[in-house]
Amino acid sequence: TNAIHRHDTAPGSSSGGAGAVNAGIQSRPSMRLALLALLAMPLLAEGNAVGVLAVVPEPRFRFADPAQRHLLETFVAQIALALERALLADEAQRAELRAETEEMRSSLLSSVSHDLRTPIGTVLGAATTLHDETITLSVQERTELAATIRDEAARLARLVSNLLDMTRVESGGLVLKKE
């Protein structure tokens, strides 16, 4: 493909911006030898580069042969497809996790909503009965209604406290210490 980059210019020659690179490489002979025979091929997935495959061929100009180059390009295309499948699988797994998390949040909210409404309904009912002057209640009934209000308010306070604690743990605001 046209996207293959080959660094096999002769020492001292320059093409475009390669002169500065070659000048820097000239001072390091071992680096120059390594770069002269390096092929770098992009791994493309959906038109985007997801990596680069660098090859140092033996013998040095092995990929000058069109058949060998085609074989390498096929190999690179297969690697890119494998990477793309892995990336898509990761994204699918993240999407599934997000969906499961949202489902759990919805279920938790529904459960918490029910757990909060029950004591609130009981407190409102008992308080309304106590407040209604048209209903005649004995002292024992008034005492029981007041106790119900107290008990349900305490239950509601525990539920709210637990919810707040869960929120702090989830957000990292609460640090547990093992003793």
Confidence band for 64, pLDDT divided at 50, 70 and 90: confident
Q: pLDDT for 120-176, tens place per residue?
A: 999 999 999 999 989 998 999 999 999 999 999 999 999 888 888 877 777 766 566
User: What is the number of other CB atoms lying within 10 angstroms of the CB of residue 80?
Assistant: 20
Q: What whole-number percentage of the chain has pLDDT above 90?
A: 28
- The angle, 0 to 180 degrees and rounded to 10, between the axes of the packed helices 18-26 and 29-36 is 130
What the block records as the tokens of 51 is: 């990596």
User: What is the number of other CB atoms lying within 10 angstroms of the CB of residue 129?
Assistant: 15
Q: What is the pLDDT of residue 168?
A: 77
Q: What ranges in the chain are assigned the alpha helix state H?
A: 18-26, 29-36, 66-131, 139-171
- Report if pTM > 0.85: no
| Beta partners for residue 142, in sequence order | none
What's the burial of 114, exposed, middle or buried (CB within 10 Å: 0-12/13-18/19+)?
A: exposed
What the block records as the tokens of 16 is: 């475009």
SS3 state of residue 13: coil
Q: What is the pLDDT of residue 66?
A: 85
Q: Assess contact for 22 and 9: CB atoms under 8 A.
A: yes
